[in-house]
Amino acid sequence: MKKTIFLIIIISITLLGCSKPVNSNDYFEDLETLKLKEEIIENDLYDIRIVISDIDDEEYIYYMTLDNAKEELSNTRILLYHDVETINGFPSIGYFDDTVEVGGEIKGVNLIGYIEKEADFDFVNFKILVKSDDFENVHSITLDRN
C-alpha cells in the first residue's frame, strides 16, 4: 500500500513538472504566414547569421544565431523556415518550449536544422520570424549550398 501511494505521488510530481504549454497552433499558423510573407522588415536590434555545412554523406546542417541584442527582447519566439523540400521540421524556440528573454542573461539564441543531400537545390532561401512582446520581424537570407 505504501509503495502504491509513493508511486502515485512520484508520477503526479513528474507529470506536473513536465507540463509546459504547447503552442502548436501558433507554430503552424506562423509557419504558414512565414512561407507566404514577401515583405521583409529589417531592423538593427540584433544580429542574425546562418551557416550551412556538410555534415555527412546524407545531410547538410545549418546553424542560425541571433545575438548582440541592443535591448532586451521579452518573451521571444523564433521560427526558422527554408524553401528546400525536407522531411524534417523547422527549428523554433518558444512554441513547444518556453519563450526566451534575449539580451539580458541570455546573450543569444542558436537554432539548428538539417537538409537532406538528395534534395535538389543550389540556393537555400531562409526566412526567420522573430516575435517578442514589443515587435515582430521577418528576415530573409539566401545561401549557396556549397
pLDDT tens-digit profile of 33-69? 888 887 776 677 888 999 999 889 888 999 999 998 8
Q: List, in order, residues 6 or more apart from 18 with CB less than 8 Å away.
A: none
Examine residue 13 and state whether it is found in any structural domain, yes or no. no
Q: What is the DSSP letter of 25?
A: H
Examine residue 57 and state whether it is found in any structural domain, yes or no. yes
Q: List, in order, residues 6 or more apart from 139 with CB less than 8 Å away.
A: 40, 42, 48, 127, 128, 130
Examine residue 42 and state whether it is found in any structural domain, yes or no. yes
Structural domain span for residue 85:
22-144
Examine residue 9 and state whether it is found in any structural domain, yes or no. no
Number of domains in the chain: 1
Examine residue 4 and state whether it is found in any structural domain, yes or no. no
Examine residue 39 and state whether it is found in any structural domain, yes or no. yes
16/43 Cα distance (integer angstroms)? 40
Examine residue 16 and state whether it is found in any structural domain, yes or no. no
73/132 Cα distance (integer angstroms)? 6
pLDDT digits (tens, 9 = 90+) for 23-36: 678 899 999 988 88
Examine residue 122 and state whether it is found in any structural domain, yes or no. yes
Question: pLDDT value at position 63?
Answer: 93
Helix (H) or strand (E) holding 12: helix 2-18
